Amino acid sequence: MGRQEPKMRISERALTVWKLYGWISAAFTLLAGAAVTVLAILFDWSVWFIIGAVAALILEIILFVFVLPTLKWKRWRYEVREEEIELQHGIFIITRTLVPMVRVQHVDTEQGPILRKYNLATISISTAATIHQIPALDINEADELRDSISALARVAEDDV
């Protein structure tokens, strides 16, 4: 049966970062939930408001901290070959993408403050019409990949 999955996985530290993102958004939910709780107590709302807020918080933590990042990380694969780049990602909708090297126009790496702390970087591969990202690669790996892609990418001017 068909093609092999791409071989390379993204850095395991990506999992840590995604979990951190999950905690950060949970912190905001906590704030909102606290506000609802305070209002519910002050104005004598139904107790269901408090239960709802707590449930939302717990659900968010389970999903966005424990379940989804792991699934996402497990699914994420990439492979850079001599003439093509292949990506696979997605939890509920799996996407498998193939980009020939000759279509690549430029490659960028970028880092936010959190990614920098964990020595990670995101790499963006641009063709004339599309942009493809590989998130949270080890910074050295990302730089290496960027250099090797841009060396391999030779856009045939005529075909754009």
Min dist. Cβ of residue 86 to another protein (A): 8
Per CB under 8 A, does 159 bind another protein? yes
Per CB under 8 A, does 128 bind another protein? yes
Per CB under 8 A, does 102 bind another protein? yes
Sites for another protein among residues 81-100 (CB under 8 A): 81-84, 90, 92-100
CA angle 62, 67, 71 (to 5 degrees): 165
Using only C-alpha atoms, what is the Rg of the chain? 21
The residues facing 133 across adjacent strands are 124
Residue 134, token pair as written in the block: 């590989």
Q: Do 88 and 77 touch, CB atoms closer than 8 A? A: yes
Min dist. Cβ of residue 100 to another protein (A): 5
Per CB under 8 A, does 132 bind another protein? yes
Q: In angstroms, rounded to a whole number, what is the distance separating the alpha carbons of residues 35 and 30?
A: 9
Q: How are beta strands 131-138 and 8-9 bridged, if at all?
A: unpaired
Min dist. Cβ of residue 44 to another protein (A): 34
Stretch that binds another protein, among 11-19, 39-47, 79-87, 113-121 (CB under 8 A): 79-87
Residue 50, token pair as written in the block: 């408090």
Stretch that binds another protein, among 16-24, 37-45, 76-84, 145-153 (CB under 8 A): 76-84
Per CB under 8 A, does 71 bind another protein? no
